[in-house]
Structure 1
């Protein structure tokens, strides 16, 4: 696996872990956890795709 794919994969993994933390925190604060989880994961997916496309 090349450096670009590795970095894109790490970006997705880190955002998935971050989304888990964000959802847990949102639930503790009685907020809509789905929205925050989707936003966090979406940011990771867009970032990984943009990195792959521009490099």
Structure 2
């Protein structure tokens, strides 16, 4: 999985969570944590990649 696929997956999951009524910030944290866990990527590395 390359960088753009990772970012795309994070934002896709974030948008799905927002559609379910979760706040934008909570949805972003949820998506980052979920992708980090599912793809075995360090959460801190993901945060740096996204720029948070």
Per the TM superposition, whether the score is higher than 0.5 is no
Q: TM-score, normalised by structure 1?
A: 0.43
Counting helix residues as a fraction of each chain, which structure ranks higher? 1
From the CA coordinates, give the structure whose radius of gyration is larger.
1
Q: TM-score, normalised by structure 2?
A: 0.45
